[in-house]
Amino acid sequence: MTTGPRFRFAPSPTGSFHVGGARTALQNWALARRLGGTFVLRIEDTDEARNRPEWTQGIIDALAWIGISADDAHFEGPHFQSEYADAHLAAARRLFDDGHAYYCDLNGDQIQARAQELGLTGYDGYSRDRGLGPGPGHVLRFRVPDGTTVVDDLVRGEVSFDNRTIEDFVLVRGNGTPVFLLANVVDDIEMAITDVVRAEEHLPNTPKQQMLWNALGHAAPRWAHVPVLVNEQRKKLSKRRDKVALEQYRDEGYLADAMVNYLMTLGWTPPGAEAAGSEIVSWAEIESAFRLDDVTHSPAFFDVKKLAAFNGDYIRQMPLDEFVERAGEELPAEWDRERFAAIAPYIQERLTTLREVPEKIDFLFWPDDADVTYDDDSWAKAFGPDWAVPLLGDVIGAYGALGDWSAEALKMALEQVMAPYEVKLGKAQAPVRVAVTGRSVGPPLFESMEVLGRTETQRRLSSALAAVTQSASGDGR
RNA sequence: GCCCCCAUCGUCUAGUGGCCUAGGACACCACCCUUUCAAGGUGGCGGCACGGGUUCGAAUCCCGUUGGGGGUGCCA
């Protein structure tokens, strides 16, 4: 039995896990760990989700990916609401018995008509003293007390609400089922939650929840409302128009560590980051330093470019063998792993995501004797200069005479060959590169040729020479 | 409509009344390095929304304006 604070993270399953949710989960997780508390995962039990267990599993998997494991968490789902359904109704009954709630038989149209007549915007408390009991079509409403409700928020300070601006809200529907607000509060009470850290969008509903906690005889938990994540239009990130699924970033080759690090820098800066000149920090540092007091108050734009920069950084930091293993997962099954391992060190520092690996080195895995597909622009640029063709011929000759087929030897041979043409290595390697890889950019050339092997390299060099000679002789392209 | 929140470079932020000639990161630009592309190094561009106060002194405190966002349901 832990005595520390109990944080809860309560996502609703929707088929994908929102990056904003991931950030909130991480903040709760960091706090729970540092304070020796408990991280309670409570997945909402909606009808839709009940028919799609994979949605719930998706949340668990996504959390596991960013280092929050159900084993360490207090896991309460799925079908959570049904588990506590009796408690919801019992609480409603208690509220009614204690006079904190009353029944009302007005329907939506009637409420609207009254509001219009009285010049109000919502429900006017018509049934407060009519002494109605439960019955078909009767909703249970909370009797909002006079006065002011002050929400003491750990990131925003005291926020006060005039209770006159809060109408007597519904607790139980006309069909006898409790609404989410009530269920949520009762669940929190049942699970002895002490700290609620969630997105700012919930702040306006907090006074209602706080009044419910109090009416049910409990002190409200500590509240903390962290800023929302927004898109470039400064609107809350939405599943419909923005790329928000954590799983998608995972599938695109982003690393969990980079994602976690980046997410935590939204609304918060690790202490020491400025002095270090870097915002790249380990989870251990984050966990020991994260404070709600230090969280920003304004919304943050989720910038994929910065995420990508973090990701590239993390990829470069990886030990080589780990990189080979993880990048290897992105490769087609038939690609030779040993060959990949040989070239891996040269592409590790040229990536922003793991997903980009295959396209950078595909030329090493084309079947032998396959025609090379040349990129038109690269070809034109490489063979534009008049020295290009003769140089390529010389290279083929020199490489044919080469004893040691190593990157070092290949480089030296080219340097010798290019000397009479008075061009620099940067220029001279271009036609060779295009001939061998089909493109003008790629991993280091000589290392690539070493890995490719003598036979295939020479074959590509020769067929490129044949192609360029043919086109120069007037056959067109 | 009503209520609530927010406001520092393009973006994320540091800043809690003098240390600010406003610092860092990402992006961008230039140069260096260089085997293309990256990476790395150096430098540069660029910001306290506006108007009033308070104070010897304001990015920092107060008020207002403007702008943005969120909430407001017998949805969750």
Using the structure, give the distance in angstroms from the CA atom of A347 to the C1' atom of B36, rounded to a whole number.
13
Look up the pTM and report it.
Answer: 0.93
Where do runs of H (alpha helix) occur along A136-255?
180-190, 206-215, 246-251
Q: Which residues lie across from A427 on neighbouring strands?
A: none
pLDDT tens digit sequence for A278-332:
999 999 999 999 999 999 999 999 999 999 999 999 999 999 999 999 999 999 9
Distance in angstroms (rounded) separating the CA atoms of residues A442 and A444: 7
- Asked whether residue A136's C-beta has any atom of DNA/RNA strand B within 7 A, the reply is no
pLDDT of residue A122: 85
pLDDT tens digit sequence for A11-64:
988 899 999 999 999 999 999 999 999 999 998 887 788 888 899 899 999 999
Nucleotide minimizing C1' to CA distance for residue A139 = B74
Using the structure, give the distance in angstroms from the CA atom of A106 to the C1' atom of B7, rounded to a whole number.
43
Distance in angstroms (rounded) separating the CA atoms of residues A21 and A17: 7
- The answer to whether A427 is a known catalytic residue is no
Other Cβ atoms closer than 10 A to A302 = 21
- Asked whether residue A122's C-beta has any atom of DNA/RNA strand B within 7 A, the reply is yes
pLDDT of residue A476: 43
pLDDT of residue A339: 97
- Ranges of residues in chain A whose predicted pLDDT is under 70: 1-2, 75-82, 471-477
Using the structure, give the distance in angstroms from the CA atom of A158 to the C1' atom of B66, rounded to a whole number.
25
Distance in angstroms (rounded) separating the CA atoms of residues A336 and A397: 29
pLDDT tens digit sequence for A330-366:
999 999 999 999 999 999 999 999 999 999 999 999 9
- Asked whether residue A77's C-beta has any atom of DNA/RNA strand B within 7 A, the reply is no
Which residues from 233-272 of A have any strand B atom under 7 Å from their CB?
A: 233-236, 265-269
Q: How many CA atoms lie within 13 A of A342 on its CB side?
A: 17
pLDDT of residue A90: 95
Containing A170, the helix (H) or strand (E) segment is strand A170-172
- Asked whether residue A305's C-beta has any atom of DNA/RNA strand B within 7 A, the reply is yes
pLDDT of residue A118: 83
pLDDT of residue A47: 78
* Amino acid (one-letter) located at A79: H
Nearest to residue A350, comparing CAs of A322, A381, A323, A321? A323
Strand ordering across the sheet containing A38-41: A74-75, A38-41, A6-9, A195-199, A222-226, A148-153, A157-162
- Asked whether residue A477's C-beta has any atom of DNA/RNA strand B within 7 A, the reply is no
Of A239, A243, A305, A427, which residue is the catalytic one?
A239
Token output for A197? 């850290």
ipTM reported for the complex, 2 dp = 0.95
Nearest to residue A16, comparing CAs of A239, A197, A307, A254? A239
Other Cβ atoms closer than 10 A to A86 = 10
